[in-house]
Structure 1
Amino acid sequence: MDPNALSMNGTSPAPAGPAPDGPLAALGVPEPEERLYLHVLARPGRTTERIAAELALRDEQAADLLDSLAARGLLRWRGIPPSWSAVAPDVAVAALLLRREEELCRARGRVGELMRTYQRARRPSAEGLVEMVTGRAAIADRWRGMQAGARRDVLLFDKAPHIMRADPGAELPLLARGVRMRVLYEANAVRDPGRLAELREFVEAGEEARVLPELPCKLAVVDDRWAMLPVSSGAELRGALFVRSSSLLDALVAMFEVYWDRAPRVPDADDPGRAAGDRRRELLTLLSAGLTDDSIARHLGVSPRTVQRWVHELMDVLGARTRFQAGIQAARAGLL
């Protein structure tokens, strides 16, 4: 009899609901078995018949569940007279964890075989290295999957149009587990006050952020394994190319590094110059990124009139005729 098909009162199972979240669910122990195990764990020394009576099960149902738990190494049948008791959880659960890890390792080892089958089903000319993803929902789902699979690095060109808002719930855990995130923002993408606040939150959490007046395209690269970029430029993102490890992916990473090296960084809230009242470095950074006076004012927490006064003073010092020129000259002079 299949224990998974039983409810604890012996009736037919209820319609499928949310996945169980008990302590053994992640180890593949079905809910009926888990409930019975927890019962025996708290009440050792019961016979099969007594356990069945306490849980309103038929004797044969209880026997099937108990035998399955014994096969998993969670329970044992012993004593005089014989009765059921739980194996010490630190030993039994550790053994289950080890078996599950071995299963996951075997499954991971078969990913290559599955990918070869997947690629054989694609068009031979593409060789499975480039895939078209269409529709905003599909693109967003693919991006979330890429983020969740990140192990070392995430590289981003942040440029409109955006298919979804920045998600602290997705990015902050990546930063917390040591994934290095480098994001190059296009100035237009961070002029909104809400976006500036999000950017500062990410920078304070460890994101490395830089800004340029203009970027060539949207781009996301994860671990030198995957990349995604739009099929075409425009006001609406309807299609994207998903690129796997290849010379094309290498070229996209190299392009990111070229733009990254020439971009000024976005200072974080704990910048020493900011704490000392000297905002010149931060002002120069934002100027070279092409932000407007209003955007700079919101970023620095001052009025646009104050920003205009600081800008004119910097232009006089640097001998620049435009604000953007002042930022570029400051970068060349090593002031950024």
Structure 2
Amino acid sequence: MHPNSPYVYGTSTRPATDPSVDGLLVALGVPEPEERVYLHVLSRPGRTTERIAADLTLRDEQVARTLELLAERGLVCRRGARPQWSAAAPDVAVEALLLRREEELCRTRGRIGELMRTYHRARRPSAAGLVEMVTGRAAIADRWRSMQEGARHDVLLFDKAPHIMRADPGVELPLLARGVRMRVVYEANTVRAPGRLAELREFIEAGEEARVLPELPCKLAVVDDRWAMLPVSNGAELRGALFVRPSSLLDALVAMFEVYWHRAPRVPDADDPGRAAGDRRSELLTLLSAGLTDDSIARHLGVSPRTVQRWVHELMDMLGARTRFQAGIQAARAGLL
């Protein structure tokens, strides 16, 4: 920066103002050096340019120029032949800055369409710009994180291997806290690992609606009926994904999710009344329908594999089922889950 710029300041200490307001004006488009002088004038009204410069260990001409800029913004005013400076009332001056910034943001939002047209012109068109290829694990992870952060109402997920990143409480929990509805169908293989079901409890207790099936057709993420992402192909590694915008394809993906969602038994939450009363039947049936092994169920329920085997045989006899999986499905159809 040029040495004569009014923004080249010394190393003096900051004015003694409430630290909670630091950066407030910067967020409204006022450069930090101007904010610094404004906060000083706000806390020490009626001082001359020379006195303010001395307080801040700055050159008179630097402070004079900064004060003129602040006056143009309506943040400070001067009085007298040898001007003394005071801050304008913040509820008026700062509110005006805020309104101007809101107008700028509204204009920018209105031009997103123009940016998108430029974005698509710079790339090879694919399905008229409705489907975009995203390649590389890092790029896929970044796109998924952006989709989550932009969610307004609903997030739909098929949780199926391979995974590029673990579920992040720092992203999902704030979404649930601000009212975004999250519905997740987990493939049984993804919840069989020791401790995995316990991890899901944190999300379920925060409001996630979770269900489980032995197998899912693909990985899938849908946000607000506006975006969807699914792998280019199923396999051991996720190297490419399709990003789908509003279209008949997106509608079909949402419809597919709903079909599997209604077929899947739910993962009971930690406050399930039957569990609190000591009756684990509902949870046992859910784990059976998900295809979990006796050892996995035993670890989750905190009992021995032999106890699980005894409970399973009792349930199969009660339901007239020949196999463990059949017992879970029949229980779901009978409304026992």
* TM-score clears 0.5: yes
With over 3 angstroms needed to count, the CA separation of the structure-2 counterparts of 1:99 and 1:81, relative to structure 1, is: same
Name the counterpart of 1:217: 218
Tell me, in whole angstroms, the C-alpha distance in 1 between the residues paired with 2:325 and 2:47.
81
| Partner deviation per Cα, 1:161-203 (whole Å, 9 max, x = no partner) | 1001110000000000111111110010011133222211000
1:148 equivalent to 2:149? Answer yes
Aligned-pair distance for 1:214? Answer: 0.4
Tell me, in whole angstroms, the C-alpha distance in 2 between the residues paired with 1:5 and 1:85.
19
1:163 equivalent to 2:203? Answer no
Name the counterpart of 1:104: 105
Name the counterpart of 2:26: 25
Name the counterpart of 2:96: 95
Contact kept? 1:10, 1:57, Cα under 8 Å: no
Tell me, in whole angstroms, the C-alpha distance in 2 between the residues paired with 1:240 and 1:284.
34
Q: Comparing 285-294 with 175-184, which one deviates more in the overlay?
A: 285-294
Name the counterpart of 2:298: 297
| Partner deviation per Cα, 1:205-264 (whole Å, 9 max, x = no partner) | 000111000001111111111111111111011111111111111111111111101101
Q: Structure 1: which 5+ runs fail to align?
A: 12-19
1:307 equivalent to 2:308? Answer yes
| Partner deviation per Cα, 1:282-323 (whole Å, 9 max, x = no partner) | 111111121222222233233322222211111111111111
Tell me, in whole angstroms, the C-alpha distance in 1 between the residues paired with 2:209 and 2:6.
51
Contact kept? 1:153, 1:180, Cα under 8 Å: yes
Name the counterpart of 1:82: 83
Identity, % of aligned positions:
85
Aligned-pair distance for 1:21? Answer: 6.8
With over 3 angstroms needed to count, the CA separation of the structure-2 counterparts of 1:208 and 1:50, relative to structure 1, is: same
Tell me, in whole angstroms, the C-alpha distance in 1 between the residues paired with 2:297 and 2:252.
34
- Alignment length, in residue pairs? 328
Q: Structure 2: which 5+ runs fail to align?
A: 13-20
- TM-score, length-normalised on structure 1? 0.92
With over 3 angstroms needed to count, the CA separation of the structure-2 counterparts of 1:45 and 1:6, relative to structure 1, is: same
Name the counterpart of 1:17: none
With over 3 angstroms needed to count, the CA separation of the structure-2 counterparts of 1:268 and 1:79, relative to structure 1, is: farther
Alignment RMSD: 2.2
Name the counterpart of 1:72: 73
Contact kept? 1:224, 1:249, Cα under 8 Å: yes
Name the counterpart of 1:129: 130
Aligned-pair distance for 1:324? Answer: 0.4
1:41 equivalent to 2:46? Answer no
Q: Comparing 288-297 with 236-245, which one deviates more in the overlay?
A: 288-297
Q: Comparing 195-204 with 96-105, which one deviates more in the overlay?
A: 96-105
3-state SS of paired residue (1:220):
strand
Superposed, 1:278-297 pairs within 5 Å as 278-297=279-298
With over 3 angstroms needed to count, the CA separation of the structure-2 counterparts of 1:4 and 1:32, relative to structure 1, is: farther
Contact kept? 1:120, 1:128, Cα under 8 Å: no
Tell me, in whole angstroms, the C-alpha distance in 2 between the residues paired with 1:152 and 1:318.
39
Name the counterpart of 1:333: 334
| Partner deviation per Cα, 1:109-165 (whole Å, 9 max, x = no partner) | 111121122223333453111111111111111111111111111111100110011
Aligned-pair distance for 1:278? Answer: 1.1
Q: Comparing 303-312 with 250-259, which one deviates more in the overlay?
A: 303-312
1:197 equivalent to 2:198? Answer yes
Contact kept? 1:77, 1:84, Cα under 8 Å: yes
